[in-house]
Amino acid sequence: MKDITVVIGNYNYARFLREAIESALANVHANARPGYDDRVRVLVIDDGSTDGSRAIIESYGERVSAVFKENQGQSSVYNLGLSLVQTEYVLFLDSDDILYPDAIGAVLRAFESGDYAKVQFRLDVIGEDGVRTGVRVPNSTPPSDCAALLRRGWLYPSPPASGNAYRVSALRSVFPIPMSLHHRKAADFFAIYGIALTGAICALDGALGGYRVHRKAEDKRSASLGQAGLSLGNCEDVSEVELSFPWRWETLRHMIRTRLGEDLPAHFIDFSYEKNRLCVRLYEASTFERWRWLMFESHRYFASVLRNPYWSAGKKLGALGLTLMCLIPGRFVNRFALRYISNPAARLATRHPATARG
């Protein structure tokens, strides 16, 4: 019987932290064995919070292990957490997300059913109040052997950080993440894609946790008008994604080259990235600018749709139809199509506007 550590990385999320810790501890109780140490251990790493996080963490006493460190970013939390865990497996839970009580049991059963380097599961997208929106991520299921496609540059469908559990020895063969100002965020990118080259991946169909979407006050005010509504994630808007992905890929190539002795392609292919580039260029653009994009800048985008190895023919046709809607004169249609392409939550809002507002 193998054990797992849930590492909760936190920075100034006191308003969500207790719920994250409680969700991890619920999994401790659900997987406890009489007469043995708990199969599930909880480690909370606070990355220099200045809100009330420390008091919340300390209130749990010996129920959790705690580390308080200076602020260095998410990558430093992953590096430190991976160096501290003493279990066979690890799951990095963001402190604004939650696990369902049966999550870790399902993950451990999956690991024990085969020789997997990673087990991933879908996450329900939840609002700031914790209510499920009806959206789940990711939308597509990857094959068990993602390495072959990654070696061709394809980024496989994966949930955000909290939906991934790793074999510690496999992740250590790729880590640590090089630390710099650029590498403070998005540590899960290097774990999610680096791990694929170390072994098979098991993708569970069910949702076993919640991915919380919340916005800064200025984003909430502009979400109905600006690009904030185009992005599902919390940390970056669509413009930041376009700037950050290339250097993340280059850093991953360096990590794989130096740790595993493999060379990944110079360029990656990913629809999530290409749809962000699409939104940056076409949102509120003139009809002339939209058609100019189609004629001169659309090659990589259409390649990520038509050559996508994870999509059915129907999904490809749907994406193409929505993309062509972006070329129709009229900003209402333009906004609708881009939001529908970019953000799964916007699709739900289109079908259930009253639910989306609530």
- Look at the chain and report how many structural domains it folds into: 2
Q: What is the DSSP string of 269-310?
A: B-HHHHHHHHHHHHTT--HHHHHHHHHHT-HHHHHHHHT-TT
- 234 three-class SS: coil
Tokens in use for 11?
A: 């920075």
Q: Does residue 229 share a domain with residue 209?
A: no
Q: How far is CA 235 from the centre of its chain?
A: 11
Q: Does residue 285 share a domain with residue 229?
A: yes
Which phi and psi angles does 157 have, rounded to 5°? -65, 130
Of 99-108, 148-157, 199-208, 325-334, minimum mean pLDDT range: 325-334
Strand 89-94 to strand 4-10: parallel, antiparallel, or no bridges (unpaired)?
parallel
In which domain, by residue range, is 55 found?
Answer: 4-214
Q: Does residue 196 share a domain with residue 230?
A: no
Categorise residue 130: left if φ over 0, alpha if ψ from -120 to 50, beta otherwise.
left
The 10 Å CB-count burial string (b at 16+, else e) for 123-144 is: bbbbeeeeeebebbbbebebee
Residue partners of 316: CB distance under 8 A and separation at least 6? 305, 306, 308
Q: Does residue 143 share a domain with residue 8?
A: yes
Asked if residue 345 has pLDDT above 70, the reply is no
274-329 tens-digit pLDDT:
998 898 888 888 989 999 999 999 999 999 999 999 999 999 999 999 999 988 88
Tokens in use for 5?
A: 């550590």
Categorise residue 233: left if φ over 0, alpha if ψ from -120 to 50, beta otherwise.
beta
Q: Does residue 185 share a domain with residue 53?
A: yes
Asked if residue 236 has pLDDT above 80, the reply is no
Q: Does residue 226 share a domain with residue 208?
A: no
Segment 3-25 shows an average pLDDT of 98
Local confidence band at 30 (pLDDT 50, 70, 90 cut-offs): confident
Q: Does residue 324 share a domain with residue 267?
A: yes
Q: Ranked by mean pLDDT, which of 37-41, 106-110, 178-182 comes out on top?
A: 106-110
Number of residues that make up the chain? 358
Asked if residue 164 has pLDDT above 90, the reply is yes
pLDDT of residue 230: 56
- Domain boundary among the residues 186, 214, 242 is at 214
Check residues 332 and 18 and name the one with the higher pLDDT. Answer: 18
Distance separating alpha carbons of residues 335 and 181, to the nearest angstrom:
34
Distance separating alpha carbons of residues 89 and 83, to the nearest angstrom:
12
pLDDT of residue 238: 61
Check residues 304 and 351 and name the one with the higher pLDDT. Answer: 304
Residue partners of 3: CB distance under 8 A and separation at least 6? 37, 38, 39, 40, 41, 87, 88, 89
Local confidence band at 235 (pLDDT 50, 70, 90 cut-offs): low
Is this structure's pTM higher than 0.95? no
pLDDT of residue 336: 85
Distance separating alpha carbons of residues 314 and 140, to the nearest angstrom:
13
125-141 tens-digit pLDDT:
999 999 999 999 998 89
Distance separating alpha carbons of residues 146 and 142, to the nearest angstrom:
7
- Domain boundary among the residues 184, 214, 244 is at 214
Distance separating alpha carbons of residues 31 and 39, to the nearest angstrom:
6
Q: Does residue 318 share a domain with residue 259?
A: yes
Q: Does residue 307 share a domain with residue 197?
A: no
Question: Percent of the chain beyond pLDDT 70?
Answer: 86
Segment 160-177 shows an average pLDDT of 97
Q: Does residue 174 share a domain with residue 149?
A: yes
Residue partners of 147: CB distance under 8 A and separation at least 6? 196, 197
Asked if residue 43 has pLDDT above 90, the reply is yes
Q: Does residue 231 share a domain with residue 201?
A: no
Q: Does residue 124 share a domain with residue 150?
A: yes
- Domain boundary among the residues 196, 214, 232 is at 214
